[in-house]
Every structure is written in C-alpha cells, then in structure tokens.
Amino acid sequence: MRLNEHARAKVNLTLAVLGRRADGYHVLDSLVAFADVADSLSLEVGPDLSLEVSGPRAEGAGALADNLVLKAANALASRFPGLVLGHFHLMKALPAAAGLGGGSSDAAAALRLLARANKLALTHDAVVEAARATGSDVPVCLEARSRWMRGAGEILSEPVALPPLPALLVNPGVATPTAEVFRALAFEPGHVAPYDEMLPRCIGLAGKPASLVDFIASGRNDLQPPAIALRPVIGEAIEAVGQQPGCRLARMSGSGATVFGLFDTREAAKIAAEALRPFKPGWWIVETSIG
C-alpha cells in the first residue's frame, strides 16, 4: 500500500516574541498559515523504517539519519508499540533552514501518513506528543491549517478561516539557523510579556481580505531585525519584494531567510515574480497563495 501527502510551506504572517522561558525556549504569539507550495512525501507501508530523498532541494535537507521524517517516525514508534512503518520517499522542493518550516512540515506529513496507515486519529496522544518531541513547528504543521500559535509552539488556537492571500515567496539563498537567530535577541530567561489579545479581531476580518492584510501589516516579526543583522541579504530581499507594484506587505517568515510579499491578486504576484527573477538568478522566487 502506497500513501501520499503534501508538506506545505509554513508562513508566519506575524511573529511576536514575548520573552524567554526558564527552559531557554522563547514564547511566541504567531499567526501561522500555509502556502500552496510543498514537498511531497509518500509511504510504502511495510515493517521496517527507511527513507530516500530526491528532488531539487534534497541536499539542503542534510544527512539522511538526521532527517526530521525519521525523527518523527521514531518518536511515534516509541510512543505506540507495534506501529506499522515503511519506506518513505521525500521529494524536496522547499528550501531548508529557510523560515518555511520545510523539515517540520515533512515531519508532520510523515506523522499523517503513519496515522493513516495505522488508523490513528491526529488527535491521538501518541501523535500529538510525537509532533511536540520532533520540533516546535511540527504541532502546527500536523493539520497544516491557519492558526494562532503560542507558547514555544505547543499552544494552538482553533483553525482560523483565512481567505487565500495572493503572495510571492522569495528566498535569497542563505540558510539561517533558527537557534542562532533566537540567540541574537539576547533575551534573559524568565521574563515573558503577556499575550496581546489580537485573535478575535483577526477572525472578524477573515471575510475581508484587504482589511486582513492591513491587520497583518499592523503586526511584526520580531526575528526579522536579528536575522537581517546576521544575514543582511534578507533586508535586500524585503526591499526588493516591497518595491514590486501592488505589494501590500513584505516581511520575513519564521527565523528567515524567506520573505513573503502579499498582493491583491495572483496576477500581480506573478508579474512581480517574473520581474524579479532575471535580476536575482540565485534566489528562489515563487508566486503562491497563502491561507
């Protein structure tokens, strides 16, 4: 039996860092959505666990043994005795260490495939715990629906019904290790500001895309300044995207380096992608839809 899943790119439309817990992890308040650009993962169900990676971005995923697909599968197997496993094939299209949670989304897709093969609900404790144990972004990627994400990533709101937002994703070709960007904030552990109650306002705007973009623009990504300090080309990418006709907002996602631009129409996003590509041949530039 062969099962297939897409692992869509995660985009942090807003990302406030409220402080740092005593355990060193940072407390976030982030509106997370998913783009219609993805890696593909398949599972040939069988007794043994194995993985093969191919595709244009396979190299960025690093050593096979460290792949988050295997980490997630092992995390679930250790929590659910007798789990049926199998051979995974990952087709890597998303850039790695890019703020798009590519590895986290692959791990979540692996958990969805194993849950299907073993007739487990995604809400089963073993699946939820395996997601948390694999990485901070994996819980939100499990169902891959737009949500507010809080805590270190483990507190999730109900899904937020966002309209599809026409967008451009631009990665300027530099990896930004997440831990390094958080460290550059230089927050002392033990100080955390209260959550801003933005959630109800956002739900009210979901039927009005223009106001929703204004709302997102009124937020921020607190990891953007330290990421730009570490990788100045991110600032260049934000400027390049923001200058495109019809761009309503240009901001970095996650810990970078990928920048998203929000546009009123898919056509405007496509024109922007075509305008940028000839000037930046080394950059990953795709028009997409987020939400």
Ligand X SMILES: Nc1ncnc2c1ncn2[C@@H]1O[C@H](COP(=O)(O)OP(=O)(O)OP(=O)(O)O)[C@@H](O)[C@H]1O
Ligand Y SMILES: C[C@](O)(CO)[C@H](O)COP(=O)(O)OP(=O)(O)OC[C@H]1O[C@@H](n2ccc(N)nc2=O)[C@H](O)[C@@H]1O
Residue 95, annotated as binding a ligand = yes
- Interatomic CA distance for residues 261 and 95, integer angstroms: 17
Residue with tokens 């783009």: 35
Which has the closest alpha carbon to 232: 260, 267, 206, 256? 256
Is the CB of 102 or the CB of 166 nearer to ligand Y?
102
Residue of 37, 11, 10, 287 whose CA lies nearest to 168: 287
Q: Is 10 a catalytic residue?
A: yes
Residue of 10, 39, 71, 106 with catalytic role: 10
Q: Which of 13, 38, 91, 106 is the binder for ligand X (CB under 6 A)?
A: 106
Instruction: Give least dist CB 28 to ligand Y, A.
Output: 5
Subset of 48-67 contacting ligand X (CB under 6 A): 61-62, 66-67
Interface mask toward ligand X for 2-41; x: CB under 6 A? ----------------------------------------
End-to-end CA distance of the chain: give it in Å, rounded: 31
| Residues of the shown chain interacting with ligand Y in the complex, contacts defined by CB under 6 A | 12, 15, 25-26, 28, 30, 101, 104, 135-137, 152-153, 178-179, 182, 254-255
Nearer to ligand X, 166 or 256 (CB): 256
Q: Find out whether 255 is annotated in a ligand binding site.
A: no
Touching ligand X, residues 124-163 (CB under 6 A): 137
Question: Which of these is catalytic: 29, 39, 106, 137?
Answer: 137
Q: How far is the CB of 28 from ligand X (least distance, A)?
A: 11
Q: How far is CA 88 from CA 40, 42, 55, 91, 215, in A?
A: 10, 6, 14, 10, 40
165 labelled binding-site residue: no
Q: How far apart are CA 92 and CA 37, in angstroms?
A: 11
Pick from 13, 32, 88, 99: which binds ligand X (CB under 6 A)? 99
CB 101 → ligand X: shortest distance, Å?
A: 4
Cα separation, 20 vs 151, in Å, equals 10
Q: Which two tokens stand for residue 205?
A: 């705007």
59 CB burial (10 A radius; 0-12, 13-18, 19+)? exposed
Q: What residues are paired with 2 via a beta bridge? A: 44
Q: Which does 66 bind (CB under 5 to 8 A by kind): ligand Y, ligand X, none?
A: ligand X
Q: Residues comprising the binding site for ATP?
A: 95-105
Catalytic site positions: 10, 137
